[in-house]
Amino acid sequence: MTRPMPEPTQNDEAARAGWLYYVGGLTQDQIATELGVSRQRAQRLVSRAMADGLIQVRLSHRIETCLDLETRLTDRFGLQRCRVAPTLGTGVDAVRSIAPSAATELERYLRLTDPQVIAFGTGRALRAMAEQFNPTEAGHHRIVSMIGNTAPDGSATLYDVIRRVAEKLMAPYYPMPVPVISDTTEEREFYYRLRPVRAVIALVEQADVTFVGIGQMSDDAPLVVDGFVSPQEMAEFQRKGAVGEIASWVFDEKGNYISSERDGLVGALRIEPGRVKPVIGVAGGASKVRAIRAALVGKILNGIVTDEATAAAILGDD
């Protein structure tokens, strides 16, 4: 008995259209003919293939302008690692530009034969990086979260990075089983006394490389949008000169952490300035320029993956 051919799903069609366009070099008219659809539908399918990450494009040639920005950032801030991706254009989310370069940077560590402890913060850029990197045999590495994984209402945090990374690697992973923000200092101290939590903390502290997102401290900051800081708390941080945060720890223009009563509630480890092992920030966009620059000035970070426009703004170029 002949098995009937399965009906193609929308993702099937988008993936095929993307393959024909980016690998096969077909025009959208040719793709429309090949798939038996209209040109407008072919165009939408190709766009969807890229937007949904069904097709991944990596540069095999390093653009001279980006290399120059990498060199200048490295020299200015004494960086261990620096990657600058070409900007995709006005109005395009910088995360789309950064994610493939961040994935390439992560893959450098995943290819190492010596077992690595790789720690992650959270955020949109890191989640996009997790979607972009190519799976490999990496079961000898350990993936660990430096930030709590429970929101105030008991739900899991939206941008769960380590689970996605571990799924693609088939590697053991270690979430931080605490709230992002505890209700009281006593509650946080209780969690931090638990043996599983202490084990995760020990892993984070010995991490061979740490990847973190960087948040701005404007009224539309991720901390406010996700409900981890109230508008009143944000206003108070702004009065104290806050420009950025990493793993919910807030810092000023010089990269100095700002003390507040909230410190005893934060369910994430703080990155102390001047670490020897790589701490790589993954972030870009005009709203994050001050935060990234401050984290570099204060030596919270010793590595950065960003885009061309952001790099130029950090350096003060027109």
CATH number of the structural domain 10-51: 1.10.10
Q: Assess contact for 142 and 174: CB atoms under 8 A.
A: yes
Interval 173-204: pLDDT, tens? 999 989 888 989 999 999 999 999 999 999 99
Q: What percent of the chain has pLDDT above 90?
A: 55
Q: Quote the pLDDT of residue 5.
A: 43
Determine contact, residues 304/281, Cβ cutoff 8 Å.
yes
Most confidently predicted of 15-19, 64-68, 93-97, 115-119: 115-119
Which of 11-15, 38-42, 244-248 has the lowest average pLDDT? 11-15
pLDDT at res. 315: 96
Mean pLDDT score across all residues of the chain: 88
DSSP classification of residue 156: B
Domains of the chain, by residue range, sit at 10-51, 64-315
CATH code for the structural domain at 64-315: 3.40.50.1360
CA atoms lying within 13 Å on the CB side of residue 230? 4
> Would you place residue 224 in the very low, low, confident or very high pLDDT band (cuts 50, 70, 90)?
confident
Provide the whole-model pTM: 0.84
10-51 and 64-315 share one fold: no
Distance CA 138, CA 115 (A): 9
Residue 97 has pLDDT above 70, yes or no: yes
- Checking if the pLDDT of 40 tops 60, the result is yes
Question: 272, 313, 288, 249: which is closest to 73 by C-alpha?
Answer: 313
DSSP state of 257: B
Min mean pLDDT across 156-160, 248-252, 292-296, 304-308 is at 156-160
Q: Please, are residues 201 and 177 in contact by the beta-carbon 8 Å criterion?
A: no
pLDDT digits (tens, 9 = 90+) for 85-96: 988 777 778 898
Tokens for 121, please give them.
Answer: 């913060």
Residue 200 contacts residue 194 (beta carbons within 8 Å): no
Under DSSP, is residue 89 helix (H, G, I), strand (E, B) or coil?
coil
Buried b (16+ CB within 10 A) or exposed e, 143-171: bbbbbbbbbeeeeebebbbbebbbebbeb
Extract the tokens encoding 216. Answer: 């701005």
Cβ-count burial 106-141 (b if 16+ within 10 Å, e if not): beebbeeeeebbbbbbbbbbbbbbbbbbeeeebeeb
From CA 122, how far away is CA 132, in angstroms rounded? 15
**Across 142-152, average pLDDT:** 85
The pLDDT value recorded for residue 6 is: 55
What phi, psi does 264 have (nearest 5°)? -75, 0
The DSSP-derived string for 96-121 is: HHHHHHHHHHHHHHHT-SS--EEEE-
Residue with tokens 């290819």: 111
